[in-house]
Structure 1
């Protein structure tokens, strides 16, 4: 009897066992092979059977999408790009060598933990394996960089992070005042202000649409990690990411991580604390490829003081550069461990390493916590406020020479503020939310500037403050806002002044501006006219009421010189009408999205005018302009169960010639839309374009 029952039950029991086994494999066991599932937007979803296998696949994936760019970037990071490709790269090589990147990289590689060193090795092995298997898909002129080494990846990291973000060569060329750096928007919304009762995160970096600033969107799934986000091309880990439990984004913070010191020369050295010190000297051979293929050789000699290398000798001044982060060899492992974290406590433990030399960290998680950290290596300085350290610093005394950075507990941070929301649009940490939980008076005056809060940051804060229950869809709609905050402060005064004038052209222009929707959507008429007028203003002197710390969201305001403003409008109107044939030309007719073979009407504009949807444009030579900078990678995340996410990589997820993914997301960008993020294997398989198995 029992045997008959067993035979009848056996298939049923077997099915249960099979279901349990398969389920457990799906939940915890590593897959048999490492594979890349490429979705229809060219985004690699990497399923690794081991961590090194995952890194190897990520190196392979980056080559498939960006091989020419990646190899060119690595060649520049070596300081040998002029040898490979000619004179136009000579200044880049000089910068890399002056900053001692290749030599420092050897130290950084040795300083990696044994495990992470093996991951770096695997990433580079994936790059080289792809190049070996697909030489026909790589441009001949960049193959000279092959094979690449783990040191190349670390040199590229230094060039990007320390010597492009913390300090860029163009900033050093014009040391005072310091120039504007790349920007971003970041939001964290607590459950109390979320319509779903779940925390939400908005990642919205603004970077150039080319070169070392390109984002690469990917999903990394392996033992101990399932993270989705974006890496800068050539870097082996995600820099902005989320998982099922938490997520973060970065913005460029008001962080001063470099200083220029003026040296007092004496004899063959420089004066420091009353004594003459000799310069340290290093010589680097430079080879420059000529048009006939021959190499011209020269020697680059770099002199250094206790402050750092000499970067400028002009106008009778000798300037040395000091930069934070030169011991930040663990930054990649920190980013990797941030993506592996499961809660706020673990995440903060990783942040406390302070290997990431700058950037705001904006954070949200499944438990409902939100955080804004003014992250970075902030030098401990003995004197001066933020403005003082923006200038040229006396280099003849140890009183101005910083040698230590503030520990994690000293950095401004806000966790779970009363307001229920946090924002950063590259403004100082004091204006991250209102009422402000971070008081500037509690920090050294050199930590960050006291203001002003620019128009984009004000627009950012207003959208969050004025909506007590923000849905996921509303957050995305706000993200695409092209409303010009500056217009709300000054346009009514301008129109009023014009109405009192007898200038007929200015009056016609005022009629156009009065009908304008105050946005820079593609079909906005009046935006071109107003934008052209503003570009002729000195915004530091344009307002009757300047920015005030006690009224950060309502100032500056009012028109300081109405008569001059009317004259300027008349002059600009004449030019606009002559060039475009009408005063009410649509924004998208003049400002374009041109990428690959696409040419679409743009929406968005300059951040200094208070537009949250940031785009910067370059002239195309025909009185039109094309987007070259701004909204790049965007991710909107709600920590529901399962996590809800949408994203967009504006220019597409590839640059390799003949890739179908060059610019394939630009139509969505033009329509102010994001696309769904596919994270489960079922979703990815339903939108599968290609599968690579290792």
Structure 2
């Protein structure tokens, strides 16, 4: 269909009362021809009243998967519509997240949010969000205003569709949007209180897969891109799929709920995805106390101290106040004081408030040059960038704000850092040109599965020796990354459909590496039970599909086994894709298999129980046999599980948003939001895509008016 922006131009000319303007540019015959063409185009565009796209208004067109397609008359109205759309799909969640980002969640909802408020206030999120708002460019500040206005407009028009308890957050301010961004990006992804405390919580460990395939490797001769973040299926980690169309932008992708721009996206010319990279963006400094302060460079420095009043809602509705004393050193806020050990936190990027505008401009870019111009601002504190475009370029960038250190390797900076000297206090970050990057590698493919940048392609295109030793670790390449590289390397020409099929691969790379040795050890040295277990494993297809028999047994053995000590040949950088391998102690491995068999048979009554009977895909009221599993087993299709009440396991994280894009003409794309594109209790899209996920399917991406019209579920004019 004729572009909306073009129709607007012609319509404005046609309806102009300025005869001097029209006579200057058109003689009468030309004007009559133009009028005829315009009439025909407008008749075509307005032929279906149910899908009238007014040229002077903004509309949200909802498709049957609950994806909003925003057609806006200008960028500000696109932001307003996006705020409205997010409220319709995730209103209760969005307001709760903004309440937490304010550091007032305990005031709104009680004691259970007290630790969240302490964290947010200690690291200065609300105060910094106000300064960040002032630091935005005037244009982008107006966009944030518009997004907040859209949130509030929805709440005003549909108060009955929002839970009463979250209405306390209204009205939303643009500063809340920036506070939420900081809480999510800097104080959850870059660093979290669990990481500082040294604890590990599976649900706080985000991951991702990303591929870029060059025309020389593609069956169609067109570049392709695969986006596949793995996040928890709840709370601030939820993805929201959308299309934004306004003058200067027509982008499709996804963002985290509450974020006003697309974070993973593509347009007609290019696209990108992010993976969580091996990035050191924070440090915990141990302070040496002295007097009323701490020692630094041979002197005693006083702490900067302020007291904040925390309000906590009681069960009877009254508020209890509690003081929170926030102390800061030259390094940053004091975040831990235990057993005489005082830690201060330093996080990258808190002086760089332009993250959202950079993402916005990445989505507006028309070519690699414009895209890299946006990237070079280095406003985004972390994340690998995997890129592909219509011109056939593919690129991997180890993106992030990497501190410039005087000493130490990556491992050193993972520990607690001495805070008594300026020699360890970083103040600068590496410029864009210092970051590991490869464009159009010889292999024709790029991958990242949260491994260091040195293994993004083979032959190796980025060499660790060319970078500071603290930039990223030098190994190992885990089994999921090895599986990722194997699928790409072993197929000389990959079609779009094959890329989607590979995305859903549940084959366990660990099994390919060690299963034959394990079966042999059990047959030769194992008990009768171990030999029965070996027979089950020998018949297993080495996959974690719903009907795979033997996968449960092998996964249980892997859990019982100390895999770091299991291999006779450990991982090494000379054979990064084929090591580790071999059993170091066959007798111990066979004994462990017997123990695993006892456990499986007792729990499920048989050794060859199907994977989907034990592991379930569950979201809301939807409960289905699972396929996919833990990345540690070398499964590319990641699903993480937690125990449920009946002795089995249910999904709680993993593949969340998936997008497969081929830069043909027109662009071909398919996508999926595993848990659906809404959480509101009244929405039919809560969990509605999980069945497709279970069937290893993606839904078509509709980006033109004809397709949207054919699959229109709802329309809202703003």
TM-score for both structures, normalised by structure 2: 0.93
Partners of 1:679 and 1:20 in 2: CA distance: 20
Q: Flag the 1:502–1:626 CA change in 2: closer, same or farther, 3 A.
A: closer
- Give 3-state SS (helix, strand or coil) of 1:641's partner: coil
- The one of 654, 658, 669 aligned to 1:645: 669
- The one of 288, 305, 321 aligned to 1:281: 305
- The one of 418, 429, 432 aligned to 1:405: 429
Partners of 1:31 and 1:532 in 2: CA distance: 60
Partners of 1:494 and 1:622 in 2: CA distance: 30
- 1:258-657 matches, within 5 Å, as 258-657=282-681
Q: Flag the 1:156–1:17 CA change in 2: closer, same or farther, 3 A.
A: closer
Q: How big is the shift at 1:181?
A: 3.4
Corresponding residue number in structure 1 for 2:170: 146
- Give 3-state SS (helix, strand or coil) of 1:204's partner: strand
Corresponding residue number in structure 1 for 2:85: 61
Q: Flag the 1:255–1:30 CA change in 2: closer, same or farther, 3 A.
A: farther
- Give 3-state SS (helix, strand or coil) of 2:374's partner: helix
**Structure 2 unmatched runs, 5+:** 1-29, 48-52
The answer to whether the 8 A contact 2:517-2:583 is kept is yes
Corresponding residue number in structure 1 for 2:255: 231
Query: Which deviates further from its counterpart, 245-254 or 171-180?
Result: 171-180
Q: Flag the 1:177–1:476 CA change in 2: closer, same or farther, 3 A.
A: closer
Q: How big is the shift at 1:594?
A: 1.1
Q: How big is the shift at 1:244?
A: 0.1
Partners of 1:460 and 1:71 in 2: CA distance: 38
1:104-139 Cα distance to aligned partner (Å, 9 max, x none):
111100000000000000000000000000000000
Does 1:32 pair with 2:56? Answer: yes
Q: Flag the 1:132–1:446 CA change in 2: closer, same or farther, 3 A.
A: same
- Give 3-state SS (helix, strand or coil) of 1:549's partner: coil
1:385-429 Cα distance to aligned partner (Å, 9 max, x none):
000001111111000000000000000000001110000000000
Partners of 2:43 and 2:266 in 1: CA distance: 26
Q: How big is the shift at 1:542?
A: 1.3
Corresponding residue number in structure 1 for 2:268: 244
Q: How big is the shift at 1:179?
A: 11
Partners of 2:245 and 2:213 in 1: CA distance: 26
1:353-383 Cα distance to aligned partner (Å, 9 max, x none):
0000000000000000000000000000000
**Aligned Cα root-mean-square deviation (Å):** 1.9
- Give 3-state SS (helix, strand or coil) of 2:312's partner: strand
1:565-618 Cα distance to aligned partner (Å, 9 max, x none):
111111111121111111000000010011121110011111111100001001
Partners of 1:238 and 1:30 in 2: CA distance: 24
- The one of 117, 126, 130 aligned to 2:154: 130
The answer to whether the 8 A contact 1:237-1:335 is kept is yes
- 1:192-203 matches, within 5 Å, as 192-203=216-227
Partners of 2:394 and 2:586 in 1: CA distance: 44
1:306-355 Cα distance to aligned partner (Å, 9 max, x none):
11111112233111111001012110000000000000000000000000
Query: Which deviates further from its counterpart, 14-23 or 625-634?
Result: 14-23
Partners of 2:200 and 2:691 in 1: CA distance: 41
Q: How big is the shift at 1:17?
A: 4.9
Q: How big is the shift at 1:23?
A: 9.2
The answer to whether the 8 A contact 1:455-1:485 is kept is yes
TM-score for both structures, normalised by structure 1: 0.96
- Give 3-state SS (helix, strand or coil) of 1:36's partner: strand
The answer to whether the 8 A contact 2:441-2:461 is kept is yes
- Give 3-state SS (helix, strand or coil) of 2:565's partner: coil
The answer to whether the 8 A contact 2:526-2:591 is kept is no
Partners of 1:179 and 1:260 in 2: CA distance: 22
Q: How big is the shift at 1:658?
A: 2.1
1:160-217 Cα distance to aligned partner (Å, 9 max, x none):
0000000011101217999983110000000000000000000000000000000000
Q: Flag the 1:97–1:658 CA change in 2: closer, same or farther, 3 A.
A: same
Query: Which deviates further from its counterpart, 30-39 or 58-67?
Result: 30-39
Q: Flag the 1:690–1:267 CA change in 2: closer, same or farther, 3 A.
A: same
Q: Flag the 1:308–1:229 CA change in 2: closer, same or farther, 3 A.
A: same
Partners of 2:91 and 2:511 in 1: CA distance: 44
Q: How big is the shift at 1:457?
A: 0.4
Corresponding residue number in structure 2 for 1:88: 112
Partners of 1:579 and 1:177 in 2: CA distance: 25
The answer to whether the 8 A contact 1:171-1:179 is kept is no
1:414-449 Cα distance to aligned partner (Å, 9 max, x none):
000111000000000000001111110000000000
Partners of 1:324 and 1:177 in 2: CA distance: 23
Corresponding residue number in structure 1 for 2:39: 18
Partners of 1:458 and 1:105 in 2: CA distance: 41
The answer to whether the 8 A contact 1:636-1:645 is kept is yes
Q: How big is the shift at 1:290?
A: 1.2
How many residues get paired?
A: 684
The answer to whether the 8 A contact 1:312-1:319 is kept is yes
Q: Flag the 1:557–1:296 CA change in 2: closer, same or farther, 3 A.
A: same
Partners of 1:642 and 1:19 in 2: CA distance: 24
1:52-100 Cα distance to aligned partner (Å, 9 max, x none):
1111100000000000000000000000001111111000000000110
Query: Which deviates further from its counterpart, 350-359 or 502-511?
Result: 502-511
Corresponding residue number in structure 1 for 2:9: none
Partners of 1:19 and 1:408 in 2: CA distance: 50
- Give 3-state SS (helix, strand or coil) of 1:540's partner: helix
